[in-house]
Amino acid sequence: MSKAGDKRTAGNREARQARTAAARLYAVQALFQMEAAGQSADRVQREFLNWRIGREGEDEDMVSAQADDALFARIVDDAVAWQARIDQMTDRALVAKWPIDRIDPVLRSVFRAAGAELVTQKTPPKVVITEYVRLAQAFFAEGREAKFVNAVLDHMAREARPEAFQA
């Protein structure tokens, strides 16, 4: 392959990674909004797809990233469909005195979005963990939350997909 072909392939891969990262970010935000405002998944997904994802506003600062719409919708739908299982996995990964309903709602949304990807087995667990730890780093400046997310997601992944961690 030529150097120009290599650059196009790398550029396409980077663009795809950016769209999947944005889809995960929007999914976490949508799950947070659903819980905070008591809105349905359908309503929130329509709002994000019509007014937030990949939109340019009148204000120069209001530009949102392009996202993999299908991945965004799948994560939100799967998080809703599998919420009881995901929350139970999260509870088992947390310290007994801190059930999921007592943790920060942003972290809860991160765990639900990541859990949706873990239980549906479409993405390798190590990729899920890495991507959601990066999101935690974006949401929380301290860094300890990212370490916490890493530990909880590792536990959840080992429960949901033990075969991925066998030597």
Residue 73, token pair as written in the block? 């919708």
Query: How far apart, in whole angstroms, are the C-alpha atoms of residue 101 and residue 161?
Result: 24
Segments making up each domain of the chain, as ranges: 2-164
Q: Give just the sign of the alpha carbon dihedral 166, 124, 121, 24.
A: positive
**pLDDT of the chain along its 167 residues, tens only?**
556 555 667 778 898 999 999 999 999 999 999 999 999 999 999 999 888 887 666 555 545 678 999 999 999 999 999 999 999 999 999 876 677 778 899 999 999 999 999 999 889 999 999 999 999 999 998 889 999 999 999 999 999 999 998 86
Query: Could you tell me the pTM of the whole model?
Result: 0.86
Given this model, what pLDDT does residue 60 score?
A: 54
Give 4-7's long-range contacts (Cβ < 8 A, gap of 24+).
none
Given this model, what pLDDT does residue 99 score?
A: 73
DSSP structure class, residue 64: -
Identify residue 127 by its one-letter amino acid code.
V
Residue 135 · residue 145 · CB < 8 Å: no
Residue 157 · residue 164 · CB < 8 Å: yes
State the fold for domain 2-164: N-utilizing Substance Protein B Homolog; Chain A (1.10.940)
Given this model, what pLDDT does residue 151 score?
A: 94
